[in-house]
Amino acid sequence: MTIEWRYTVEQELGVLSVSGYLGPDAVRRFEGAVGWAVGRGTGPVVVDLTGLRAWSAEGQMAITEAARRLAAAGRSLELAAIPADGSLVPGGDCLSIPVHADLAGALAAHSTRHGKPPRGRHEWRTTGWPSGDDAGE
């Protein structure tokens, strides 16, 4: 079992939406999605986990590695709507990862910080990601 992903950029905020199960078999695909995000955009990346059914310890470690990778590129990672158990297994030298209750809260936090309405949207996704804006909800 694997994941599907969609990456959207609005102004300088990237949203990487992930659906499915982030387990050992999906880690490489998630790393590829993070690589896609690193190459497209300049600001923070919110990883929207609304459509994620569950994650394993390996999947959680992939999240912390993504935070390191983005930090090395001068960007930050935030999480929205983590799975119901509410846990995130940090690595020993893990960066602090902000967690928002849901994507709307994460977007609101950024619009409050920047005081600008979103403009210029770009989107990329895996072929398995449903078309339409309500995917994963």
Give the 3-state DSSP-derived string for 79-110, with helices as H, strands as E and coil as C: EECCCCCCCCCCCCCCCCCCEECCHHHHHHHH
Overall number of domains in the chain: 1
**What CATH number should be reported for the domain holding residue 40?**
3.30.750.24
Structure confidence by residue, pLDDT tens digits, 71-112: 999 999 999 998 876 666 555 566 788 999 999 999 888 876
How large a percentage of the chain has pLDDT more than 90? 55
Structure tokens at 61: 């470690």
Is pLDDT above 60 for 24? yes
In a domain, 16, yes or no: yes
- Report pLDDT for 113: 57
Q: Is 4 helix (H, G, I), strand (E, B) or coil?
A: strand
In a domain, 131, yes or no: no
Q: Which residues contact 45 (CB under 8 A, 6 or more apart)?
A: 13, 14, 15, 16, 34, 37, 70, 75, 76, 77, 78
In a domain, 30, yes or no: yes
- Rounded to 10 degrees, the C-alpha dihedral 58/61/16/135 comes to 30
- Report pLDDT for 135: 44
- Residue 52's domain comprises 3-125
44 backbone φψ class: left, alpha, beta (φ>0; ψ -120 to 50) = beta
How large a percentage of the chain has pLDDT more than 70? 77
Is residue 53 within 8 A of residue 86, CB to CB? The reply is no
In a domain, 67, yes or no: yes
In a domain, 40, yes or no: yes
What is the rounded CA–CA span in Å between residue 107 and residue 92?
29
In a domain, 120, yes or no: yes
In a domain, 132, yes or no: no
Q: Is the pTM of this model over 0.85?
A: no
In a domain, 137, yes or no: no
* Higher-confidence position of 126 and 87: 126
